[in-house]
C-alpha cells in the first residue's frame, strides 16, 4: 500500500523523468535535423525518375534543356512534404533506440532533481528529524527505477527489432528506396562476393566481383559480373545468384558450387542471401538477442564475431550498468556534503561519462582482439562496483 509520501515521491520522480527525457529528445532532434537538413530535403528517387521520364517525352515539344537533360524541379509544397515525411519516418523509429541509450542517465537525473528539489524546499530535513531514514525515502524511487529498467529490456528485445530495417537506413533514404553499398562477404565455402551497388526492390547487385578459392578449381579465380540477381530456392541447395555479363565467360572446370548456364552467365550456389550480402556493419545493434545468437551459431565464419559477442554480453549486463550508475549517483545526491545541487549533478554526469568511457574503451579492445569479449563486458562493473559501499555509507540517515 502506497503512503502519501510514496505517491508524492513517485509523482515528483515521474514528472522529472518525463520532463528531462522530452527535453533531451527535442534538443537532439533539433540539432540532428539541422545537421541532416540536406539529406532530409533530397527528393524521392522514384518520383525523380518518373518526372525525368515524362520530361524526356516532353522535351521534343521545346522544354528547356540543361546539358542535354530536361530541368526537373520540385515545387515548394513537394519539398516541404518530402522534408516532413523524411523527418517523421527517420525519427519515429529512433525514439526506442534513444530511450535505450539514455534511460540510465535520465533515471539518475530524475532522481537527482527529485531529491534536489525536496532538499531545496527543506522537505528532507523534517523527514530525517522524524526518524524516517533516507533509504526509506529512496524506496519508491527504487521501485519505479526497476520498472523503467524492465521497460528498457522489453524495448531492446521486442520494440527495436521491429524497427531494425528502418534504423539501418540513412537519413537521405528513410523509405529504403535508394541503392545501397555492398561490403564484401564470405560464405561457408570461403567464396567472397563484393559489389559496387545493390538495389533493394529488385534484389540485385551490380558490378560484382566473385572470388572462388583455390579449393574449388585448384587455383583462385576472380569473376567479374555486370549484374547478379538473387534467386531464393525451396531448399538450401537451390539458393543462389544468377550472374550475367561475366568475365571470364567460361570456367576451367565444373564444380557443384557454380555451374555455367551459357557463356558469360553462371549460377552460383551459396547460402549468401541478398539480405546477408547487403547487411550493414552495425546490424547487430538492432536485433534481438535470440536472433543474434542464432546468427552466431549458423554463420561460423562471419566478420566482427568477437565484437558481436561482446555486444551480447554488454546487452545482458546493461540493466546492471544503469543500476550501478544509480547506486553511485543517488547516494551522492543524498550525501552529507554541503555541495549545491548543480555540483552534485555535475558529479553524477562525471560518473556517467566515466562508465561510458570504460565501455567504449573495452569495446575498442575487443574489436582489436586484445581482450576477451566476456571480460570486456564485465570490466566496467568490476572497476566501478567497489566504489558503491563507501558512496552508500556517505548518505544522510
- For the segment 328-355, what is each residue's pLDDT rounded down to a tens digit? 888 777 666 666 667 777 887 888 888 8
Distances from the Cα of 132 to the Cαs of 80, 136, 145, 397, in angstroms?
Answer: 58, 7, 21, 8
Query: How many residues are listed for the chain in this entry?
Result: 397
Determine the average pLDDT of the residues in 16-26.
Answer: 94
Given pLDDT bands bounded at 50, 70 and 90, which one contains residue 170? confident
Residues 6+ apart with CB under 8 A from 89: 166, 174, 175
Q: How confident is the model at residue 136 (pLDDT cuts 50, 70, 90)?
A: confident
pLDDT of residue 44: 55
The average pLDDT across 25-51 equals 73
**Domain residue spans in the chain?**
180-277
Mean predicted confidence (pLDDT) in 293-303: 79
Q: State the pLDDT at residue 57.
A: 53
Which among 85, 91, 82 is positioned nearest to 51, based on CA atoms?
82
Per the model's pLDDT, the better-predicted residue between 68 and 174 turns out to be 174
* 193-233 pLDDT, tens digit each: 988 888 877 888 988 999 998 888 888 899 999 999 998 87
Say how far apart CA 279 and CA 239 lie, in whole Å.
17
Return the H-helix or E-strand segment holding 228: strand 221-231
| pTM for this prediction | 0.78
pLDDT score of 69 more than 60: no
Read off the pLDDT of each residue in 31-51 and give the average, rounded to a whole number.
Answer: 68
Amino acid at each position: 500500500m502506497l503512503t502519501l509520501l510514496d505517491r508524492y515521491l513517485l509523482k515528483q520522480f515521474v514528472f522529472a523523468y518525463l520532463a528531462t527525457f522530452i527535453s533531451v529528445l527535442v534538443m537532439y532532434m533539433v540539432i540532428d535535423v539541422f545537421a541532416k537538413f540536406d539529406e532530409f530535403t533530397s527528393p524521392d528517387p522514384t518520383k525523380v525518375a518518373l518526372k525525368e521520364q515524362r520530361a524526356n517525352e516532353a522535351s521534343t515539344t521545346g522544354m528547356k534543356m540543361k546539358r542535354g537533360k530536361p530541368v526537373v524541379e520540385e515545387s515548394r509544397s513537394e519539398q516541404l512534404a518530402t522534408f516532413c515525411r523524411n523527418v517523421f519516418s527517420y525519427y519515429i523509429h529512433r525514439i526506442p533506440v534513444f530511450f535505450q541509450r539514455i534511460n540510465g542517465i535520465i533515471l539518475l537525473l530524475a532522481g537527482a532533481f527529485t531529491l534536489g528539489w525536496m532538499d531545496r524546499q527543506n522537505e528532507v530535513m523534517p523527514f530525517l528529524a522524524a526518524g524516517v531514514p533516507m533509504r526509506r525515502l529512496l524506496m519508491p524511487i527504487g521501485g519505479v527505477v526497476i520498472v523503467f529498467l524492465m521497460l528498457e529490456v522489453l524495448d531492446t528485445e521486442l520494440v527495436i527489432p521491429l524497427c531494425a530495417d528502418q534504423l539501418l537506413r540513412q537519413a537521405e533514404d528513410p523509405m529504403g528506396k535508394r541503392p545501397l553499398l555492398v561490403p564484401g562477404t564470405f560464405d561457408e565455402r570461403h567464396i567472397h562476393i563484393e559489389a559496387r551497388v545493390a538495389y533493394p526492390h529488385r534484389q540485385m547487385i551490380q558490378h560484382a566481383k566473385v572470388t572462388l578459392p583455390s579449393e574449388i578449381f585448384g587455383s583462385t579465380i576472380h569473376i567479374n559480373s555486370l549484374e547478379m540477381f538473387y534467386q531464393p530456392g525451396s531448399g538450401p541447395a537451390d539458393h543462389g545468384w544468377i550472374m550475367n555479363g561475366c568475365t571470364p565467360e567460361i570456367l576451367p572446370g565444373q564444380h557443384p558450387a557454380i555451374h555455367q548456364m551459357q557463356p558469360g552467365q553462371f549460377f552460383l550456389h551459396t547460402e549468401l542471401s541478398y539480405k546477408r550480402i547487403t547487411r550493414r556493419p552495425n546490424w547487430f545493434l538492432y536485433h534481438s538477442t535470440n536472433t543474434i545468437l542464432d546468427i552466431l551459431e549458423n554463420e561460423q565464419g562471419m566478420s566482427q564475431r568477437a565484437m558481436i559477442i561482446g555486444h551480447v554480453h554488454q546487452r545482458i549486463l546493461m540493466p546492471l550498468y544503469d543500476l550501478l550508475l544509480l547506486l553511485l549517483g543517488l547516494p551522492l545526491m543524498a550525501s552529507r556534503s554541503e555541495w549545491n545541487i548543480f555540483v552534485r549533478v555535475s558529479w553524477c554526469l562525471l560518473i556517467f561519462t566515466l562508465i561510458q568511457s570504460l565501455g567504449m574503451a573495452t569495446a575498442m579492445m575487443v574489436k582489436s582482439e586484445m581482450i576477451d569479449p566476456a571480460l570486456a563486458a564485465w570490466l566496467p562493473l568490476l572497476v566501478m562496483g567497489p566504489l558503491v559501499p563507501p558512496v552508500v555509507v556517505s548518505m544522510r540517515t
